[in-house]
Chain A
Amino acid sequence: MTTEPLTKRQRMAIGRQEMPARDAGERSGTFNEVNLGFTEQLALLEAQRCLACARPVCVEGCPVSVDIPSFVASIEAGDLAAAARALFGDNALPAVTGRVCPQEHQCEAVCVRGRKGAPVAIGHLERFVADWARGHPHDDVVTSEPSGRRVAIIGAGPGGLTAAGELARRGHDVTIYEALHLPGGVLSYGIPEFRLPNEIVDNEVDRLQALGVHIECNVVIGRTYTLDELRKSFDALFISVGAGLPMFLDIPGEGFKGVYTANEYLTRVNLMRAYAFPEADTPVLRGERVVVIGGGNVAIDAVRTARRLGARQAMIVYRRSRPEMPARVEEVHHAEQEGVTFEFQVNPVAIEGDADRWVTGLRVIATELGEPDESGRRAPRPIAGSERVIPCDAVVVAVGTRANPLLTSSSPDLALTNRGYLAADERGMTNLPGVFAGGDIVRGSATVILAMADGKRVADSIDSYLSGTPVELTAP
């Protein structure tokens, strides 16, 4: 280890280390993870770029206030165990967030080094420490006596999993109910293997089970049990069912064969492993030319999946311009390397099909950008006479999701927002005492880290609720 601390000048002289990645040609044919992870050498160099600012703004940029300077300093000092302790103190799933957080809008967006040049690669470092920690498991222990209180968590996505761990460690008896046959939520059925390997979610689920958390799959709350039944048999509930209802464009042709929602397409491939058909039983149409409508992470995941399933042409059709795409910059970059093409500023008007109702193309109209709308993004306006057809044999609609009414419609007492999401107060409690909610079902489609932040905050609230002490509020 270096004995002399580096000077600021020396630190400034180190450029941002590049994440080693599988070759684009090789990876566009497989579902193996694209990013290979920093080596110890790269991690050390990257950690040395941190200036250890007196006021670490990066921490403010992180929705869960990860103690970034501390874990980065521990990497630099070569003490990865200490780095892991610092990280896990604030973030239950760093191996996930290090891979999927939109760092460029969060911690790295405010990093001082980004003002001149590239910010510290906080996400890559986070992933490095988390992956090291998986190979060097620390003792995760229940720190409290059994409380004798039972908590039910509905939905095993990142929000539910985080809350489960926090509550179990404090001695509560936790049961997670999950509608699908595997836990993980979007991490299992949505985000593909090439971005987030399944073993990371499995690892977390194993840790929770070792803490005594019960996970019951194939239980659909609102159908198998009602919310009221759970309220009678548990002391508190956490609803973290996500926002899983896919939206359509409401244009002609959405019933044609070859039209998928991103949820169906990705679920077939990820959860049901259709990429291995016929070894696995679930099929998926492998289009030669696949068009994906949308510009978020979901759309990029779908288009990169199409490429891996053998599409010769895998295209994103997005109604705004490139800088407005909400997807993670790294994924867009990777998609381009893999040969994905982009059509910006076009709006779909109809899906075309042949006499047998198979998709043959997507009819689009070009748009120009008008004045910024209430979201601050410029609203696209169609240009008359600019319609044309993009030939394709599969269309994947990735234009967002809404609240799934399956659970809420079976509990009429539960207060909803006017958009159908759950209304919750600062503690995360709904209008029903002891019933808490968080993640996408409260926020609308948001992010993994925000769902986790909710899980953690609600675990605090539930703990206080169960012990009858007032909650100390922390900013979400």
Chain B
Amino acid sequence: MGHEVISNTSLSPTVHRLVVSAPRIAVVRQPGQFVIVRLGPGAERIPLTIVGSDAAAGTIELVIQAVGKSTADLVAVAAGSYIDDVAGPLGQPTDLITKGTAVCLAGGVGAAVMYPIARRLSEIGVELITVVGARSSASILFEDEFRSFGDLIVCTDDGSAGRAGFVTDALADLIAAQTVDVVYAAGPVPMMRAASAVTSPRDIRTIVSLNPIMVDGTGMCGGCRVTVAGAMRFACVDGPEFDAHSVDFDELADRLTTYGAAERIAVDHVCRSAGQPVTGRHGAG
């Protein structure tokens, strides 16, 4: 058993798009939801946004940035191979506005999280401005798609495309120039924190998609806990989207560094042993 990888295409030097067979999830998933994926025996369970789906074909789309061992292993899965476990859809669907103006703010692979939200907002027919940021022109994701959904502002750190600088600077200019009813933001924690700081003085509703480390994704372990408005919430079941102005970003950023040393060991280990197969019970899918 398992989930066939129908296709695997490279979108940028480190980001791949995988179309994966998951018929049930393809039918019921909604923007904002994610899956927990476990490649095979010995692999980690990692959360990935459901970027899109084709209910008729029974497939979902994942966009994965190789940042460590587990994501590197996943982007290396060839079409026709299988992923053992895909559980979902998990998390709460995005709270979408039905009229007014929305800004979708995406930094780096946050574009994968923002894509299904922007797409649905354009289907609903709200005024939509998407701001995507990337290191350079080569790593901008979904540029054509976002453009087809509404207005698009591209920002690059090196100025190789669009405007040079941070997406949050573009956001500040936007809200100074026009009325914005809601901002949806996904990306690195510093970017989400900065976005929150930009919109908070004007009290513009801002929803961020948090990315804490997860294990089960069902509310059982508490590892994904985040502090929102002073209260503990589990991102996998209560989120992953929360009101940005209430999120404790410092705690989130800090907890994401928990396994920094272990992550380096995991990557080194692969380099040394070229990934010996892990056998035994947990080989059972």
Contacts and interface: CB of A to CB of B under 8 A. Distances in A.
Contacts of A220: 87-88, 90, 218
A184 to B, nearest CB: 10
B219 to A, nearest CB: 5
B178 interface: no
A183 to B, nearest CB: 9
Interface string A271-294: 011001111111101000000000
A281 B87 contact: no
B278 A180 contact: no
A405 B257 CA distance: 29
Given A261-B221, A272-B215, A218 B90 contact: no
A218 B85 contact: yes
Interface in B226-285: 227, 232, 237, 248, 251, 254-255, 257-259, 262-263, 265-266, 268-269, 276, 278, 281-282, 284-285
A460 interface: no
B276 to A, nearest CB: 7
Contacts of A356: 254
B86 A254 contact: no
A246 B232 CA distance: 12
Contact of B44 (A264, A279, A281): A281
A246 B266 CA distance: 28
B38 interface: yes
User: Interface size class for chain B?
Assistant: 35 or more
A244 interface: yes
A330 interface: no
Contact of B87 (A219, A245, A248): A219
B223 A264 contact: yes
B225 to A, nearest CB: 7
Given A245-B220, A278-B266, A279-B278, A255 B85 contact: no
A268 interface: yes
Contacts of A225: 24
A189 B220 CA distance: 10
Contact of A255 (B73, B219, B225, B237): B225
Nearest to B263: A283
Looking at A189, A220, A223, the one whose CB has the most chain B CB atoms below 10 A away is A223
A276 B278 contact: yes
Interface of A: 179-182, 189, 198-199, 202, 217-220, 223-225, 244-246, 248, 254-255, 257-258, 260-261, 263-264, 267-268, 272-273, 276-283, 285, 356-357, 404-406
23 contacts: A198-B281, A217-B85, A244-B218, A254-B225, A254-B232, A255-B251, A261-B222, A263-B220, A273-B282, A276-B278, A277-B266, A278-B266, A279-B42, A280-B282, A281-B43, A281-B44, A281-B73, A282-B44, A283-B262, A283-B263, A283-B266, A357-B251, A357-B254
Q: 8 closest pairs, A vs B, by CB?
A: A283-B262, A278-B269, A264-B221, A218-B87, A244-B220, A261-B222, A281-B44, A181-B85
